[in-house]
Amino acid sequence: MPLAEEHQRDWKRRLVVDALQRISGIADPRVDPLRRPSTPLAYRNRVEFSAGPGPDGAAAIGLWGRIDGERGLVDLPDCALQDATANALLASIREFVAARDDVGRALAEQGPFRILLRSSSAGRRLVGLWGTTTRFPFADELASRLTDQADSVVSLRARPGRRGGVRAEPLHGDPFITERVGGFEFRLPAASFMQVNPAGGRELIDLVLDYAGDPRGRRILDLYGGVGAFGLHLARAGARHVVVCDADRDAVEAGKRAARLAGLRNTRYAHGTVRSYLRSQQGKPADLVIANPPRSGFGRGVAPGILGLTPARVLIVSCDPPTLARDVQPFLEAGYALDHVTPVDLFPQTHHVETVALLTAHP
Ligand SMILES: C[S@@+](CC[C@H](N)C(=O)[O-])C[C@H]1O[C@@H](n2cnc3c(N)ncnc32)[C@H](O)[C@@H]1O
C-alpha cells in the first residue's frame, strides 16, 4: 500500500531531521521542505529488470521483491516509474520470451540475467541485454525484433578480472547513450551511471549553484563527481579552476569530452579515489569542495582530507541521511556551521531521499 503523496513528503523530510538529531547530535536541525522536481510517476530514464526463474521455476521478467514472505523475482507486465515507450519495449521483450519455449527455458535455467532500458532526454532508446557469466540467451534474435522501437541494442557482459567494468557488444545502433544537461553533452557507455531522474538531477545542479556562492576566481573541487555536472556548471560560471575527481574511468572520459566540447580550459579531471586525490592535494587550499559520495558516504580519511584544504564552503550531496549525518560531524566539530539542508525527492514512491547540505566555515 503506497504512502499518500503528502505523507511521503513529510516522512522523507523527517528521515533527514531524525538522522541529524540522532547521529549528528543537532537538537533542532533546520531542514527545508522536501523539493519534488519531477512527476511522481514515470520519472526514471533507466530501469534494470531481471530475467530468470520466477517463484514457480518458469521464466519471469520483473524486479526482486517479496512473494509470500520470501525474496524472489516478481514478474511485472510494466513499471509505473518508467514512461509508456519504455513499457512498450518491455512488452515486446516479454512477448518474444513468451512465444519461445527455448528462450524461456534458457532464462530460467541460466538466469538471472538483466535487461537495461535507458532513454535520453532527446528521446533515444537503448536496450542492454546483460549477462554475468554467459551472454544473454538469443540476444541477436531479440535485438532484431527491437530495431523498430529501440535506437540501440547492446549485449553487456561483466568484464572478468580485478579492474572489473562492463564489456559492451553493439547488436544494433550506437552502443553509447548521449545525454545533454545544461548545454553540456555527455556521451556514456551503455551501462555507465548518470542521474536517472533528469528533472531531479537539474534540481540538484540548481541547488549546488545557489549554495556555492559566486564561483568567480575560486578554486573548486567536485569530489565523487561522476561526469562532473556540478563542476562544469561552476567552471562555465567563471570559477578559476575546477577539478572533478571520480573512480569511474568511463564517467571521467565522458566528462573530459564534455568540457572540451564546451571549450572550458579551467577544468581538469582526476581519475582515481577521492582519498588518494585528497592526499596529493594537502597544502593546496580550495575555496569550495563539493562531495557527492555513494550510499556508504565518505571513505576513511576523506573528511580530514577536505578539512586540510581549509575550504570556506563544503557542499555535501548525499543519498543516505544516516551517512550524511555521520559525514557532517567532523565539519561541525571543526567549527563549520550547517547553513542549509535541503531534501530533494529524486525517487518518488521509494524510501530514498537525496539531500544537499551546505557547511560554511565561520571565522
Ligand atoms: C552518487 S554518484 C555521484 C556522481 C555525480 N556527482 C553525479 O551527480 O552524477 C557517486 C560517484 O562516486 C564515484 N565513486 C565511488 N567511490 C569512489 C571513490 N572511493 N573515489 C572516487 N569516486 C568514487 C562513483 O563512480 C560515482 O560516480
Domains within the chain, CATH numbers bracketed:
5-39+197-361 (3.40.50.150), 46-189 (2.40.50.1070)
The three three-digit cell numbers of residue 104, written as one number: 524461456
CA of 126 to the centre of ligand 1 (A): 23
Q: Is 294 in the pocket of ligand 1 (CB under 6 A)?
A: yes
In angstroms, the CA 163 to CA 314 distance is 31
Are 121 and 178 in contact by the 8 Å Cβ rule? The answer is no
CA of 165 to the centre of ligand 1 (A): 15
Compute CA distances 263 → 219, 235, 252, whole Å: 18, 11, 16
Which residue's CA is minimally distant from atom 11 of ligand 1? 224
- What is the predicted pLDDT for the residue at 182? 95
Is the previous residue joined to 112 through a cis bond, with omega within 30 degrees of 0?
A: yes
The three three-digit cell numbers of residue 287, written as one number: 575555496
Q: Is 223 in the pocket of ligand 1 (CB under 6 A)?
A: no
Q: Is 274 in the pocket of ligand 1 (CB under 6 A)?
A: yes
Q: Is 152 in the pocket of ligand 1 (CB under 6 A)?
A: no
Residue 133 neighbours by CB under 8 Å, 6+ apart: 158
Task: List per-residue pLDDT tens for the chain, 363 residues long.
Answer: 678 887 888 999 999 999 999 999 999 999 999 999 999 999 999 999 999 999 899 999 999 998 888 899 999 999 999 999 999 999 999 999 999 999 999 999 999 999 999 999 999 999 999 998 899 999 999 999 999 999 999 999 987 765 667 889 999 999 999 999 999 999 999 999 889 999 999 999 999 999 999 999 999 999 999 999 999 999 999 999 999 999 999 999 999 999 999 999 999 999 999 999 999 999 999 999 999 999 999 989 999 999 999 999 999 999 999 999 999 999 999 999 999 999 999 999 999 999 999 999 976
CA of 215 to the centre of ligand 1 (A): 22
CA of 139 to the centre of ligand 1 (A): 31
The three three-digit cell numbers of residue 152, written as one number: 540501440
Which residue's CA is minimally distant from atom 1 of ligand 1? 294
CA of 275 to the centre of ligand 1 (A): 12
**What is the 3 state secondary structure string of 135-178?**
CCCCHHHHHHHCCCCCCEEEEEEECCCCCCCEEEEEEECCCEEE
Compute CA distances 344 → 196, 200, 305, whole Å: 14, 7, 27
Q: Is 258 in the pocket of ligand 1 (CB under 6 A)?
A: no
- What is the predicted pLDDT for the residue at 132? 84
Q: Is 246 in the pocket of ligand 1 (CB under 6 A)?
A: yes
Q: At what angle do helices 5-22 and 321-333 cross, to 10 degrees?
A: 40
Q: Is 249 in the pocket of ligand 1 (CB under 6 A)?
A: no
**Pick from 181, 80, 81, 61: which is nearest to 121 by CA?**
181
CA of 107 to the centre of ligand 1 (A): 32
Compute CA distances 9 → 2, 45, 78, 159, whole Å: 13, 22, 25, 40
Q: Is 225 in the pocket of ligand 1 (CB under 6 A)?
A: yes
Q: Is 292 in the pocket of ligand 1 (CB under 6 A)?
A: yes
In angstroms, the CA 230 to CA 258 distance is 13
- What is the predicted pLDDT for the residue at 363? 67
Q: Is 96 in the pocket of ligand 1 (CB under 6 A)?
A: no
